[in-house]
Copies of this chain bind each other. A is one copy, B any other.
């Protein structure tokens, strides 16, 4: 392994000078610079980032902690993060908690051991899996971002989509299509989040009436347990707050000979490839997942550089019109 010392010797300068040359911005005489460059090329020098990290007490590694990576929802976000980090020459660690069988605390321990520069926790806005980590994180005082957790500011930066706006946008759209009997279908959405959607509904419908709310349980048969209720209540527009559920509900409607859109419009929350390949193609409220990742990464980088930053970043959703609504 070729080290600074080797090229220093080869170029007849001190180790320190070489180090200075390599640290961009430092001034070195033109002539010694030439010799150093030559030595580096001739000996095939490769800098050792690990040694540098030990000395500087900082790495260029950012960790993303998420439930699972093989899910378009998370991988879109991750890709956004990856793009931004790459642009700034930071490396990206991935930790899948569903896969790892490690507790939050153990993961944080791991982060400290590895001198991680920053952590981005990515969760579904409905999940509670990162709850217990908060305490440890705050006392450790490492750059952290919570992405996609729609909770009030609690001492660490947050990036999430505006759920109330998403709801309002969706309901307005359904209304504009003549769908005035609306149901929300969700899967394990906690009450405080559901409240955002009900708020959005009120704003869009001038508080005239209440929407129907249905929760999809694990292992529930949509055609038997969900659709009859929709029909009996003369629902003509259903806003599904989970993209995959929207796909399956649409499937079930088609199978039940209910015309999607004409008889019952389906609006999906989330806009991945799934909505596009579903039949009929799903109209949806795009939560801007890639953008979410990009912003999260930017905020982590700001923190690392100790710059000023917005504690809360709220993303604007938008409607993507396709066939189902």
Residues of A within 8 A of B (CB): 1, 46-51, 53-54, 57, 59, 68-72, 75-76, 78-79, 82-83, 86, 91-96, 99-102, 109-110, 112-115, 244, 247-248, 251, 254, 273-274, 277-279, 290
| Minimal beta-carbon separation of A287 from chain B (angstroms) | 14
CA distance A57 to B93 in the complex (A): 20
Contact B69 A96 (CB under 8 A): no
| Minimal beta-carbon separation of A211 from chain B (angstroms) | 26
Contact B71 A75 (CB under 8 A): yes
> Which residue of B46, B101, B112, B277 is within 8 Å of A248 (Cβ)?
B277
B residues within 8 A CB of A54?
48, 50-51, 54
Contact A96 B79 (CB under 8 A): yes
CA distance A113 to B52 in the complex (A): 10
In the complex formed, the residue of B with least CB distance to A57 is B1
B residues within 8 A CB of A57?
1
Contact B53 A50 (CB under 8 A): yes
A-B contact pairs, 24 of them (CB 8 A): A1-B57, A46-B112, A46-B113, A49-B113, A50-B50, A69-B78, A70-B75, A71-B75, A72-B72, A75-B75, A79-B96, A79-B99, A82-B94, A82-B95, A86-B102, A91-B95, A91-B110, A92-B93, A94-B94, A244-B277, A248-B277, A254-B279, A274-B274, A277-B277
In the complex formed, the residue of B with least CB distance to A63 is B91
| Minimal beta-carbon separation of A257 from chain B (angstroms) | 14
B residues within 8 A CB of A53?
50
B residues within 8 A CB of A96?
79, 82-83, 86
B residues within 8 A CB of A277?
244, 247-248, 251, 274, 277-278
B residues within 8 A CB of A244?
273, 277
Contact B50 A59 (CB under 8 A): yes
The 7 A-B pairs of least Cβ separation, nearest first, read A279-B279, A70-B79, A70-B75, A86-B100, A49-B113, A83-B99, A46-B112
| Minimal beta-carbon separation of A73 from chain B (angstroms) | 10
CA distance A311 to B126 in the complex (A): 45
In the complex formed, the residue of B with least CB distance to A251 is B279
B residues within 8 A CB of A248?
277
B residues within 8 A CB of A46?
109, 112-113
Contact A49 B91 (CB under 8 A): no
| Minimal beta-carbon separation of A97 from chain B (angstroms) | 10
CA distance A101 to B79 in the complex (A): 14
